């Protein structure tokens, strides 16, 4: 069985259009075990219940932004080892450096192609 058949992904984005693009790209990669939330606070709760292998999170969201979500995930023993990819249109050095210090596994710059997403995910979880 291919990794994509068992991989569980949680998408976190407050904008329905951006969330839809992420969900469509994952579907195009054959990743079907996908759930989503629209803010960081809900994502933290859902991560504890769903226990995804990977979280794709937007940077700017209400309640908890992507970096705050990452910080909370890394401090919780239940979610500490979940792979985390920050998805952002603002991929400046400060954001990326902060993410890395907090334990971010990778980042995906917007706009992205399906190939970009595949390469970014595979760098974290292995070949799909």
Q: Which residues contact 116 (CB under 8 A, 6 or more apart)?
A: 108, 109
Of the pLDDT bands very low, low, confident and very high (cuts 50, 70, 90), residue 92 is confident
pLDDT at 62: 84
Neighbour tally for 84: CB within 10 Å: 27
For the chain, give every domain's residue range.
Answer: 3-8+37-123
Report DSSP state, residue 56: E
Looking at the domain covering 3-8+37-123, what would its CATH class be?
alpha beta
Q: What is the pLDDT of residues 20-70, one digit of tens each?
A: 999 999 999 999 999 999 999 999 999 999 999 999 999 999 889 999 999
Q: What is the pLDDT of residues 71-88, one digit of tens each?
A: 999 999 999 999 999 999
Residue, of 62 and 122, whose pLDDT is higher: 122
Does the pLDDT of residue 91 top 80, yes or no?
A: no
Model pTM score:
0.96
User: CA–CA distance from 31 to each of 22, 91, 100, 104, 125 (Å)?
Assistant: 11, 25, 25, 21, 13
């Amino acid at each position: 069985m291919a990794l994509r058949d068992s991989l569980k992904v949680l998408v976190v984005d407050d904008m329905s259009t951006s969330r839809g693009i992420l969900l469509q790209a994952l579907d195009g990669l054959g990743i079907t075990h996908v759930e989503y939330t629209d803010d960081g606070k809900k994502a933290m709760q859902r991560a504890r219940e769903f226990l995804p292998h990977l979280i794709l999170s937007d940077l700017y969201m209400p309640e908890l932004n992507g970096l705050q979500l990452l910080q909370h995930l890394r401090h919780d023993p239940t979610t500490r080892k979940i792979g985390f990819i920050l998805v952002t249109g603002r991929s400046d050095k400060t954001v990326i450096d902060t993410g890395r210090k907090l334990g971010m596994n990778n980042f995906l710059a917007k706009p992205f192609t399906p190939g970009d997403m595949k390469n970014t995910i595979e760098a974290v979880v292995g070949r799909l």
